[in-house]
């Protein structure tokens, strides 16, 4: 089953992010008013997404722990090309090293 995230931006617009079987993400919503460049897409009210950014950080959903690699327009919305993030967001073992400045233990 595909993972789906409904994202409500600051203007009350809803965007739908669907994680596809191939690992990429379909981004659906109203893109009538937006800025776009070589490496970013910024619909009015957000979310701002850029190549190299963690998608999970922008849409606040750890099921989308993916790094953005590119964007392609489709009939249904914008296809976000992604690659997996190799860092486990639930791994806090680095905090156990008491020789690191700011270590917890």
Q: How far apart are CA 36 and CA 76, in angstroms?
A: 18
CB atoms within 10 A of CB 27: 25
- Give me the pLDDT at residue 33, please: 94
Q: How far apart are CA 97 and CA 104, in angstroms?
A: 8
Spans of all domains in the chain:
3-84
Tell me how long the chain is. 105
Express each pLDDT in 90-102 by its tens digit.
Answer: 777 766 666 656 5
CA distances from 77 to 5, 20, 22, 64 (A): 15, 13, 17, 18
pLDDT, block means (10 residues), the chain with 105 residues: 90 97 96 95 96 95 94 97 84 66 55
């Amino acid at each position: 089953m595909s993972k789906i995230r409904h994202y409500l931006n600051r203007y009350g617009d809803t965007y739908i992010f669907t994680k596809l079987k191939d690992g990429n993400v379909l981004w659906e919503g109203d893109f009538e008013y937006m800025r776009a460049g070589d490496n970013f897409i910024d619909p009015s009210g957000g979310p701002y997404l850029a190549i190299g950014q963690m998608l999970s950080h922008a849409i606040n959903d750890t099921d989308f722990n993916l790094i953005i690699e590119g964007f392609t327009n489709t009939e249904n919305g914008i296809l976000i090309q992604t690659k997996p993030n190799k860092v486990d967001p639930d791994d806090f073992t680095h905090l156990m090293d008491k020789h690191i400045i700011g270590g917890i233990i």
